[in-house]
Chain A
Amino acid sequence: AQTVTQSQPEMSVQEAETVTLSCTYDTSENNYYLFWYKQPPSRQMILVIRQEAYKQQNATENRFSVNFQKAAKSFSLKISDSQLGDTAMYFCAFRVAGTASKLTFGTGTRLQVTL
């Protein structure tokens, strides 16, 4: 079984600053995907960024990038130039590759971007 741990229940960052959200996971699988999802208040969950475990290069999507450390089973999300619209719950998630298996989520980090 897989587990995903997010140890930061809440984070705050000022607009235009950079913030890093932490995630660790545990699995015996070798081939898998990791995700960061964003859930704004009262809105649907959307995919922010995705990382394939077999890729050494860290994924980047505009202001969002990850630091994927496979040996340490760590998968942090860095948000650069934070914007007010980044305020949301952020969930780290895991899925075994090669199957249509479900996502396993962490408990989330509530990010507040302030002026």
Chain B
Amino acid sequence: DTGVSQDPRHKITKRGQNVTFRCDPISEHNRLYWYRQTLGQGPEFLTYFQNEAQLEKSRLLSDRFSAERPKGSFSTLEIQRTEQGDSAMYLCASSFEGEAFFGQGTRLTVV
């Protein structure tokens, strides 16, 4: 078990392009969370899955954002028509019953 893995680690994209990030949680963890962290701020919750069901979405998750977790394993977060304000670190975390374990994040830069 190598912990929570996120890919890519860094992504630079032009405004208006679509991007997709992947998160592989710890294998036995049924809960998966996405957070966004901007410079100088703490992580802010985006969405949460229990197995394959998306159970909660933040108001931060606009219509341009979509997240999936097919078969309750890995998860993807897609941002369509990226904007400069989407530039941030996107963190994934997973848990079973207790504490959440975080991945190293994907840093998105929209130019």
Residues of chain A whose beta carbon lies under 8 Å from any beta carbon of chain B: 4, 6, 35, 37, 42-47, 50, 91, 93, 100-108
Q: Which residue of chain A has its CB nearest to the CB of B98?
A: A50
Chain A contact residues: helix, strand, loop or mixed: loop
B102: Cβ under 8 A from any A Cβ: yes
B-side interface size class: 20 to 34
B40: Cβ under 8 A from any A Cβ: yes
Q: In angstroms, how far is the closest chain B Cβ from the Cβ of A29?
A: 16
Closest 3 CB pairs of A and B: A105-B42, A102-B45, A45-B102
CA distance A44 to B35 in the complex (A): 13
A-B contact pairs, 27 of them (CB 8 A): A4-B42, A6-B42, A35-B99, A44-B4, A44-B104, A44-B105, A45-B91, A46-B102, A47-B99, A50-B99, A91-B42, A91-B43, A100-B31, A100-B48, A101-B56, A102-B48, A103-B35, A103-B43, A103-B93, A103-B100, A104-B45, A105-B42, A105-B43, A106-B42, A107-B40, A107-B42, A108-B41
CA distance A103 to B102 in the complex (A): 12
When the two chains form their complex, are residues B44 and A105 in contact, meaning their CB atoms are under 8 A apart? Answer: yes
A107 contacts which of B3, B41, B95 (Cβ < 8 Å)?
B41
When the two chains form their complex, are residues A100 and B95 in contact, meaning their CB atoms are under 8 A apart? Answer: yes
Residues of chain B whose beta carbon lies under 8 Å from any beta carbon of chain A: 3-4, 31, 33, 35, 40-45, 48, 50, 55-56, 91, 93, 95, 99-105
When the two chains form their complex, are residues B102 and A44 in contact, meaning their CB atoms are under 8 A apart? Answer: yes
Residues of B with C-beta under 8 A to A93: 42
CA distance A43 to B103 in the complex (A): 9
Residues of B with C-beta under 8 A to A4: 42
Q: Which residue of chain A has its CB nearest to the CB of B47?
A: A102
CA distance A42 to B52 in the complex (A): 30
Residues of B with C-beta under 8 A to A44: 3-4, 102-105
Q: In angstroms, how far is the closest chain A Cβ from the Cβ of B63?
A: 21
